């Protein structure tokens, strides 16, 4: 194999990072924007010790599962990596990804079922985070997603995976921010005003919370006036906030957010519960698919327990705890982010729930110090998964069942292996397609002791 040379290959499978895998003389080659079964000509761009990276020169014979992307920007936008694959086959590929991950990393002898499909495969993404920049010559504001493996912004006027109103709001910001002397951010020079625009959209009442992330430390009249104008232009906007982030970092949000006008939250409804979602709080980006997960967890608990005590760890705004509160004797919630805890309390009041105990602090430390036993422990950690200390504590505190919800099959497999080696039984794993047209997949694992 030679760098820069062209080869004809057939794509064997999609990896858990969304890359097509093929082999040249038994040497693995990874390629973007391909589908299993594609016969393609590729050019070798990089050769590493154990694998190479290639790019598509020509699709000689397309896979029968290859379709025309419904978004014209799919090839250059990094958001929907596998939109060119028909949806049913996307689900099949994700099932295989989870199965292979559980086999190889987890060493688990368990059959993974087909993912629960998303009720919506368009207009499903209800949290939008657009980086902002500005052209050097014309001064035009650019807003969109980054091209794959770059920080070059694709200026997106229409995105079919998010609600249409979000396109309209972004376009208005793009056209009118310069009128208010608000400039786009220059990542290299660390200059300019507007770094990101974040939109939280509610499927419950079609309202939107706008967050202007600025390279600044204080509110000025240009931000206040622009926010007021934006709010008056769109009746669907519930409020406009400003977030200050003047650090040279890839982190989107800074530590301080203030409301410029209107409300600093939206309300979302999952099952029969309402949730207050703020600018900085975590909530699933696909509410309809999230509802499937909450229903799955709630049904399992209801069918197997009567009036249980439940621990909701890594709780965020206590979405799981609030959803299962009406089938529980008591729910104990633990979350590190104080703002999320406050919103969780407000959501509980909104739903007239009084059997949840809210705790603020590190989940791992809370688990290690807790003495009470729980019938069910729900773990919903970030992508990095749980620490071994947290898993040990969960085993100690659970009298029966652990439900582990994860957006990362690799760390889930790692943690399930640890629990299994400690004597727990991995009863089932159910995937849910939360992130249509991407290689990401959510899973809910049932673990019994």
pLDDT tens-digit series, residues 68-89: 999 999 988 889 999 999 999 9
Residue 76 burial (CB count, 10 A) = 13
Q: Count CA atoms within 13 Å of residue 248 on its CB side.
A: 6
The span from the CA of 88 to the CA of 176, in Å, is: 41
Structure confidence at residue 150 as a pLDDT band (50, 70, 90):
confident
Angle, vertex CA 352, rays to CA 346 and CA 355, nearest 5: 90
Condensed to tens digits (0 to 9), the pLDDT of residues 109-130 reads: 999 999 999 999 999 999 999 9
Quick one: average pLDDT of 238-263? 97
Residue 299 burial (CB count, 10 A) = 11
Partnered with residue 336 across adjacent β-strands are none
Q: What is the DSSP letter of 80?
A: -
Quick one: average pLDDT of 280-296? 95
Query: Quick check: 261 and 239 in contact, CB under 8 A?
Result: yes
The span from the CA of 347 to the CA of 271, in Å, is: 14
Tokens of 327: 């089938």
Q: What is the DSSP letter of 180?
A: G
Query: pLDDT at position 419, please?
Result: 98
Domains and CATH numbers, the chain: 6-66 (2.40.50.140), 92-119+286-448 (3.40.50.150), 127-270 (2.40.50.1070)
Structure confidence at residue 147 as a pLDDT band (50, 70, 90):
confident
Tokens of 320: 């799981």
Q: Which residues contact 434 (CB under 8 A, 6 or more apart)?
A: 118, 284, 285, 286, 289, 290, 293, 407, 440, 441, 442
Tokens of 171: 């376009």
The span from the CA of 284 to the CA of 355, in Å, is: 24
pTM: 0.95
Structure confidence at residue 106 as a pLDDT band (50, 70, 90):
very high
Query: Quick check: 81 and 399 in contact, CB under 8 A?
Result: no
Tokens of 20: 């097509």
Say which of 159, 241, 323, 407 is annotated catalytic.
407
Condensed to tens digits (0 to 9), the pLDDT of residues 221-244 reads: 999 999 999 999 999 999 999 999
* Residue 386 a catalytic site member: no
């Amino acid at each position: 194999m030679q760098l820069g040379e062209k080869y004809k290959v057939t794509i064997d499978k999609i990896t858990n990072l969304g890359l097509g895998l093929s082999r040249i003389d038994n040497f693995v080659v990874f390629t973007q924007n391909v589908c299993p079964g594609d016969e393609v000509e590729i050019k070798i761009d990089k050769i590493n010790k154990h694998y190479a990276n290639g790019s598509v020169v020509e699709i000689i014979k397309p896979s029968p599962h290859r379709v025309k992307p419904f978004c014209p920007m799919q090839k250059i936008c990094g958001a929907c990596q596998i939109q060119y694959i028909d949806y049913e086959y996307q689900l099949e590929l994700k099932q295989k990804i989870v199965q292979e991950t559980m086999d190889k990393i987890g060493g688990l002898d368990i059959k993974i079922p087909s993912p629960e499909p998303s009720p919506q495969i368009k207009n499903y993404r209800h949290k939008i985070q657009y980086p902002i920049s500005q052209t050097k010559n014309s001064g035009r504001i650019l807003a969109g997603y980054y091209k794959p493996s770059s920080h070059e912004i694709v200026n997106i006027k229409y995105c079919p995976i998010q609600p249409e109103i979000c396109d309209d709001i972004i376009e208005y910001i793009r056209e009118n921010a310069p009128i208010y002397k608000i400039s786009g951010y220059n990542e290299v020079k660390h200059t300019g005003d507007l770094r990101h625009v974040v939109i939280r959209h509610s499927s419950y009442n079609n309202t939107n919370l706008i967050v202007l992330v600025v390279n600044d430390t204080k509110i000025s009249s240009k931000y206040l006036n622009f926010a007021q104008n934006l709010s008056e232009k769109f009746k669907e906007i519930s409020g406009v906030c400003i977030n200050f982030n003047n650090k040279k970092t890839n982190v989107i949000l800074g530590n301080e957010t203030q409301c410029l006008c209107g409300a600093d939250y939206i309300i979302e409804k999952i099952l029969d519960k309402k949730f207050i979602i703020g600018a900085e709080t975590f909530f699933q980006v696909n509410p309809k698919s999230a509802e499937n997960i909450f229903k799955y967890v709630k049904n399992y608990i209801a069918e197997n327990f009567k009036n249980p005590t439940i621990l909701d760890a890594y709780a965020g705004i206590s979405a799981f705890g609030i959803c299962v509160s009406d089938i529980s004797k008591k729910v104990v919630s633990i979350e590190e982010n104080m703002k999320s805890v406050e919103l969780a309390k407000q959501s509980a009041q909104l739903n007239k729930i009084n059997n949840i105990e809210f705790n603020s602090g590190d989940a791992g430390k809370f688990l290690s110090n807790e003495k009470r036993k729980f019938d069910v422990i729900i773990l919903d950690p970030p992508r990095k998964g749980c620490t071994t200390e947290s898993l040990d504590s969960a085993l100690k505190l659970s009298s029966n069942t652990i439900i582990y919800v994860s957006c990362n099959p690799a760390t889930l497999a790692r943690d399930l292996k640890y629990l299994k080696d400690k004597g727990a039984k991995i009863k089932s794993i159910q995937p849910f397609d939360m992130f249509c047209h991407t290689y990401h997949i959510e899973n809910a694992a049932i673990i019994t002791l």
